[in-house]
Amino acid sequence: MTGRNARRSRRTVWTALVTLLGLVAVACARNAPQDTLSPVGPIARQEDHLFRPVFWIAVAVFVLVEGLLVVALIKFRQRSAADAPKQTHGNQRLEILWTIIPAMLLAGIAIPTVLTIWDVAAKPVGSNVVNVKVTAHQWWWEYEYTDQKIQGGGNLKTANELVIPTGRWVYLTMTSADVIHSYWVPKLAGKQDVIPGRITHLKLRSNDPGVFRGQCAEFCALSHANMRLRVIAYPEQQFDDWLAREMGPASANPPPANAAGFGLVASPLQGGNTCFSCHTIRGHPGSAGSAVGPDLTHFASRTSFAGSMFDLAPEELGRTNLYNWLENPPGVKPGSIMPDYNLTDEQIDALVAYLMTLK
């Protein structure tokens, strides 16, 4: 090897090592709320229990096959022009062996795989199953608690954050209002496509309280990466309290301090739309039940908004996420269907003040 070649190959080795080290380091994130390898719910655990043995079997096969290949490449390489290896063709015994062993391996893996698929897909039974209809929209999630009938008709509706009780099965019945999306909460369950014109199901459960982050896992145009979600698991009593609050309408008469925002949501904005052209605030006399955008009846009870892209602070004052959103929705979330209404600072402040009363 010449000096230059040696230097070049040393450089290649170093580059490879540094790249590998970088990849290993980024795998060590401490705060990884969407880590599939640390499952919480029983469904995610069951899937993890299937994944782990299959993964190690695959590792063993990889090491064995690639190891034999490397040994063969080195041991039987051509050392000089006169040293051509002995040429052979075919080996029936070996060929039968390397057909039978993988076939048996795959058949062995198929048994727990199929059993898990059936188990995960089975509809949960019992009187305490929580049924939720999920409708995916570009780029947010609509939830309808189909067991909860609100006064005046229809089901209880929320958006982006799925609130569930601990220790009970939650059965999602899903469809899409536009394109294909995919519902994914890594710590609770695997992905499930959500398809327009079709119904798919997903079963979830968490035995522990907590907030589980998720996101759309199927490319669905511009703000796909901003189509996030949260599953919030409350202990039974806290869930019942939440449900009781959500079932009620928003106050029809907000404190006088928020009267400006109360009036503004029903007033025509630039282009003639009002907030109620797309949103619903049950209890507000101007609300007409539109379901184009998220139901805002208990907006301030949520911890995030706009497809869970932005955190909603309990006291939204000043130039906060909500302020920035109302100022120019497509400016902070590309492709947002809610347009920029060119609201004045006073109008935005009034809207924020009113929306934050919707607990």
Cβ–Cβ under 8 Å, residues 128 and 168 = yes
Stretch that binds ligand CUA, among 147-155, 163-171, 214-222, 287-295 (CB under 6 A): 214-222
Site string for ligand CUA, 268-307 (x = CB under 6 A): ----------------------------------------
Q: For residue 264, give the amino acid letter.
A: L
Site for ligand CUA in 126-145 (CB under 6 A): 136, 139
| Contact pick of 120, 159, 162, 216 for ligand CUA (by CB under 6 A) | 216
Interface with ligand CUA (CB under 6 A), residue total: 9
Could you tell me which residues are beta bridge partners of residue 129?
A: none
For residue 144, count other CB atoms closer than 10 A to its CB: 19
From residue 271, alpha-carbon distances to 267, 290, 295, 339 in Å are: 11, 18, 22, 10
Site for ligand CUA in 227-246 (CB under 6 A): 227
CB of 194 to ligand CUA, least distance (A): 8
Structure token digits, residue 288: 């007409």
| Contact pick of 157, 187, 205, 224 for ligand CUA (by CB under 6 A) | 224
Stretch that binds ligand CUA, among 118-126, 215-223, 329-337, 340-348 (CB under 6 A): 215-223
- Cβ closest to ligand CUA, residue 138 vs residue 258: 138
Element of type H or E holding 263? helix 259-264
Q: Is 220 in the site for ligand CUA (CB under 6 A)?
A: yes
For residue 317, count other CB atoms closer than 10 A to its CB: 12
**158 exposed, middle or buried (CB, 10 Å; 0-12, 13-18, 19+)?**
buried
Closest by Cα among 176, 171, 123 to 145: 171
Site for ligand CUA in 164-203 (CB under 6 A): 181
Which positions lie near ligand CUA, rule CB under 6 A?
A: 136, 139, 181, 216, 218-220, 224, 227
